[in-house]
Amino acid sequence: MKTLFNFLLPVFLAVAVVGCNGNDNSKDDSAPSLNIVETAVSAGTFDTLVAAVTAADLVSVLSGPGPFTVFAPTEAAFAALPAGTVETLLLPENKDQLIAMLTYHVVSGAVTSEQVVGLTSAPTVQGSSVNIRVEGGVVYINDAAVTQVDIEASNGVIHVIDQVLLPPAN
């Protein structure tokens, strides 16, 4: 896995750098300048997620105007999957499954933590909805606990979760 990531990271960074024109025409200096993908890369804690987004050819989508809300699994969340799952999903022949899994982590619109706690479900870009509940002061997306909220990006928001979300079987 590390070898694949080491191969994909330079490709991703090249795409991210080429996509930035260096012009910041925004009026609000406090607005984030990095998009969701660039924010994930700069955090340095989403290596597997970034490798998966790259393998699924979703970099340009998640770097686009959005806005999007991404429920981003931690490295530990990916590590908790059964052995070989990530490597299998990253194979070219499993690209459709990888896309379905990743887009199940994305909701259209920038949904802040303040808004999330008022929801019981949200439709994902994948097409299925995730369930949302609050228990003991913790927000859950399906069974994944939200561990960090409102990481702002220029095209949306990221909420960190402690499990990988798997879309329902069709």
Domain of residue 73 covers 2-20+33-161
104 domain-assigned: yes
Low-confidence residues of the chain, pLDDT below 70?
1-30, 170
95 domain-assigned: yes
Instruction: Give per-residue pLDDT as tens, 62-108.
Output: 999 989 999 999 999 999 999 999 999 999 999 999 999 999 999 99
pLDDT for position 77? 96
The rounded distance, in Å, linking the Cα atoms of 164 and 49 is 10
69 domain-assigned: yes
Which letter does DSSP use for residue 81 in this model?
A: S
Q: For residue 127, give the CATH number of its domain.
A: 2.30.180.10
Q: How many domains in the chain?
A: 1
- What 3-state DSSP class applies to 117? coil
74 domain-assigned: yes
pTM (two decimals): 0.81
